[in-house]
Amino acid sequence: MDYLLDEEKRLYRKGVREFLERELEPHSERIDREGRIPREVVRRLGEYGLLGITLSEEYGGAGVDYLTAALVAEEIGRADISLATAVYYLLQASWGKILEKFGRREVRDEFLPRIVRGEWFIGIASTEPHGGSDVANLRTMVSFTGDRFRVRGEKMFISGVREAGEMGGGFITIMRHEPGGGHRGLTAAVTTLDKEGVETGLIENMGRTGISTGYIRYNDAEYPIQYLLGNPGDGFYIAMEGFNLARPLVAAACIGAAEKALELGIRFLKERTAFGRPLAKFEALQFEAVEDHVRLGMARDLVYKAAWMLDEHYGKGKFSVGEVNKYAAAAKWVAAETAYQVFTHVMMWHGALGYSRELPLERGLRGVMSYLVGAEGAINVMKLIVGRELFGREYMPTKS
């Protein structure tokens, strides 16, 4: 969709691709196998200016627009098809930006330059053991005592628990200050893992293993009041804004990984022969590749549109929050589903080889699955968001 990309963006993307082919792609298999992104790779991403890419120059960020951030996510998804590095990247770009927007001066100064340099990690802690989709009913409690706040509860399936523990940094944590207060009773704050009363553990996932997933238990852990984001009562809106920033980047990463898979697949269909001719000459297979190519292009257009709408929304006050929500959700849903379809097709074209770990396809499929089942919001929740815009709030299935 080059009609959206000017010469500057195209050249920037080319440079990023070359950098990632050198600095990330050679590590992709090891990232998945060893279950961590080497610190050296993270440092190099930081040096190149890819971490916290959306953050202002004041904090060392590149201050790029979301369309550029999406292009980079696409390239990172392509270079590390497991999507682990893309997850790391997009959490910094989206939730780091939320920290910049809603954080108090002290916490911005403390966290943001370190995030940009790849020294500290920032993630999101919203989901709880009883569920993640129904954010308005989460249960982790926050209470205020003078110049401190105290947290009690548990967060579950949180990306980056090991990284934040080892490197430093923390999570934008969504909590309840008002029992039974629904979405208006929520507060957001940064929490770190180095406080008394914080207990963490890891959960083994089937995919994108290079970035950890875990739980965080807060047993009356205390934090300085400056770690609050916005004011008590803003938590739900802060969370939703963060998801809106993250979703187009998630979607772009899925597109990048799937594009890479499709390239591998088309090459294989041309090279591999069966019954005396290249597989590409069998119409059933060629048509599948054609459909994947076209669907991937359509999904990419949607993703770029969602990212562009964010830029227009923030930069020029265009598009309502509802419209932005709708496209961010639609992009995440369509891109993850399309990528999943591409991966399954390309694996099938490769026969037994596709099922093996000789090729990167199975690790791409495992990574993409994370975005189908739930990370940054379940697919059905994306449909609820689109439905809310289409039908109006009074027809939301979650309203009785």
Ligand X SMILES: Cc1cc2nc3c(=O)[nH]c(=O)nc-3n(C[C@H](O)[C@H](O)[C@H](O)COP(=O)(O)OP(=O)(O)OC[C@H]3O[C@@H](n4cnc5c(N)ncnc54)[C@H](O)[C@@H]3O)c2cc1C
What is the contact surface with ligand X in residues (CB under 6 A)? 123-127, 131-133, 157-159, 205, 213, 370, 373-375, 377-378, 380-381, 384, 397-398
Pairwise CA distance, residues 209 & 12, whole Å: 29
Cβ nearer to ligand X, comparing 188 with 381: 381
Tell me how far, at minimum, the Cβ of 364 lies from ligand X, in Å. Answer: 14
Can you say whether the dihedral through the CA atoms of 136, 315, 257, 42 is positive or negative?
A: negative
Cβ nearer to ligand X, comparing 125 with 251: 125
Cβ nearer to ligand X, comparing 265 with 364: 364
Cβ nearer to ligand X, comparing 191 with 213: 213
DSSP letters for 254-298: HHHHHHHHHHHHHHHHHH-EETTEEGGGSHHHHHHHHHHHHHHHH
Tell me how far, at minimum, the Cβ of 360 lies from ligand X, in Å. Answer: 18
Tell me how far, at minimum, the Cβ of 203 lies from ligand X, in Å. Answer: 9
Tell me how far, at minimum, the Cβ of 248 lies from ligand X, in Å. Answer: 16
Tell me how far, at minimum, the Cβ of 391 lies from ligand X, in Å. Answer: 14
Tell me how far, at minimum, the Cβ of 240 lies from ligand X, in Å. Answer: 12
Can you say whether the dihedral through the CA atoms of 223, 227, 233, 239 is positive or negative?
A: negative
Pairwise CA distance, residues 160 & 169, whole Å: 10
SS3 string of 130-194? CECCCHHHCCCEEEEECCEEEEEEEEEEEECHHHHHHHCEEEEEEEECCCCCHHHHEEEEEEECC
Token pair of 44, please?
A: 């190099």
* CA angle centred on 123, ends 119 and 124, rounded to 5°: 165
List the one residue out of 226, 223, 175, 178 whose CA is nearest residue 197: 223
Cβ nearer to ligand X, comparing 112 with 375: 375
Cβ nearer to ligand X, comparing 160 with 265: 160
